[in-house]
């Protein structure tokens, strides 16, 4: 359209110049036709341009209004991009994505505050009740009642430490002390430490490993915490006569699937797979099992263990997955890259 308009304008100028001289320019009829087409093209371009400018202007006005809502704390603000074109549409989509993330973060913050308040209320109530009963002379200050208070304070201490670890890992500010670590030895040590508890419940527990598992550059204390959490859950939820297995395997994947930014697997990794023969995870809970305070109705924990495990694994550049087919137990897979992320 622009090219036709330019040709038309040149034709019009040429025709006008010819009318000022005695002899008309050659091809005058053709030039007049081109001039008419060019003028028509310019009119069409002007109409379309005005519509585009008007549509983009309306979208930008709406964007300013919705940005003011976000500034005031209303993260439900959204801008319709139906009439936006080109860069304006990309700007609107970016704004809507930003507002949606802010809304999700605000919802998670409120949910976290409510969950923390709920979790703190129970031990504080028990502690306050026992202390008041002792002060009022209802209960003696003996070992039994003081032990109950001590246990609840330990629950509070564990909850506060879990929240601190979770916050640091999610913020990426948790310091890691990496060193070359033999994960099959680490897994065997964890299994050995849980063997008495498993035997008491009548659960068999074992560790297996592939040959030539490479050393992995990780923080052994944090990874031991992850594996210990998974094994503790497996032993707790496996009935008598069941089995828990911790397997350490070497894995290699195609380079195209190894980019962590795309959610792929590392090209060279070591997997720690904790599987059990328990009843499995409720299908409704399974998609949310790594979220904060997500737990089943019979779980005695705080619901932070798997969330902390995910944060620690991702801080190492790895991934963690949960699988629980119906009536086939639960399998937790931790995948850690052999080389640390750069």
Q: Which two tokens stand for residue 97?
A: 């994505």
CB within 8 Å of 65: residues ≥ 6 apart: none
The answer to whether 337 and 266 are in contact (CB under 8 A) is yes
Residue 80: DSSP 8-state: -
Contact 310, 320 (CB under 8 A): yes
What pLDDT score does 64 carry? 87
- Cβ neighbours of residue 165 closer than 8 Å, sequence gap 6 or more: 174, 308, 311, 312
The DSSP symbol for 141 reads S
Res 27: pLDDT? 52
For the stretch 178-195, pLDDT in tens is: 999 999 999 999 999 999
Residues 6+ apart with CB under 8 A from 281: 289, 296, 322, 324, 330
pLDDT of residue 208: 94
How does strand 243-252 pair with strand 204-209? parallel
Please report the pLDDT score of residue 34 as a whole number: 59
What pLDDT, on a 0 to 100 scale, did the predictor assign at position 104?
82
State both tokens at 318.
Answer: 């790895």
Give the pLDDT confidence of 203-221 residue by residue, as tens digits.
999 999 998 889 999 999 9
Is this structure's pTM higher than 0.85? Answer: no
d(Cα 214, Cα 270) in Å, to the nearest integer? Answer: 8
Q: Tell me, what's the pLDDT at 156? A: 86
In the predicted model, residues of the chain with pLDDT beneath 70 are: 1-55, 82-85, 253-267, 296-302, 340-342
Q: What is the pLDDT of residue 125?
A: 87
161 phi and psi angles, rounded to 5 deg: -65, -40
d(CA 304, CA 162): 7
Query: For position 172, what pLDDT does the model report?
Result: 74
Query: What pLDDT score was predicted for residue 33?
Result: 61
Residue 190: what pLDDT? 94
The kind and range of the H/E element at 117 are: helix 86-135
């Amino acid at each position: 359209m622009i090219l036709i308009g330019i040709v038309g304008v040149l034709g019009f100028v040429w025709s006008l110049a010819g009318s000022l001289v005695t002899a008309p320019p050659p091809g005058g009829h053709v030039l007049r036709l081109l001039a008419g087409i060019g003028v028509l093209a310019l009119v069409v371009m002007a109409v379309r341009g005005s519509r585009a400018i008007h549509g983009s202007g309306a979208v930008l006005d709406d964007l300013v209004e919705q940005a003011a809502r976000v500034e005031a704390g209303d993260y439900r603000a959204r801008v319709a991009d139906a009439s936006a074109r080109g860069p304006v549409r990309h700007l609107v989509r970016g704004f809507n994505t930003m507002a949606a993330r802010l809304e999700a973060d605000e919802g998670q913050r409120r949910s976290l505050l409510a969950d923390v308040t709920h979790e703190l209320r129970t031990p504080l109530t028990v502690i306050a009740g026992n202390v008041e009963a002792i002060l009022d002379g209802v209960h003696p200050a003996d070992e039994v009642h003081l032990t109950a208070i001590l246990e609840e304070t330990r629950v509070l201490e564990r909850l506060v430490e879990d929240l601190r670890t979770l916050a640091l890992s999610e913020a990426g500010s948790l310091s890691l002390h990496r060193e070359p670590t033999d994960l099959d030895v680490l897994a065997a040590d964890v299994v050995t430490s849980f063997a008495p508890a498993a035997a008491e419940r009548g659960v068999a527990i074992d560790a297996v490993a592939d040959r030539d598992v490479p050393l992995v550059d990780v923080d052994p204390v944090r990874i031991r915490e992850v594996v210990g959490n998974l094994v503790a859950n497996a032993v707790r939820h496996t009935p008598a006569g069941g089995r828990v297995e911790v397997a350490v395997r070497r894995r290699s994947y195609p380079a195209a699937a190894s980019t962590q930014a795309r959610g792929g697997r590392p090209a060279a990794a070591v997997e720690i797979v904790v599987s059990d023969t328990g009843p499995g995870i409720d299908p409704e809970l399974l998609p949310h099992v790594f979220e904060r305070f997500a737990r089943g109705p019979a779980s005695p924990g705080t619901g932070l263990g798997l969330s902390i495990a995910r944060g620690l694994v991702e801080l190492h550049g790895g991934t963690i997955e949960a699988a629980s087919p119906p009536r086939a137990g639960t399998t937790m897979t931790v995948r850690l890259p052999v080389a640390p992320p750069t």
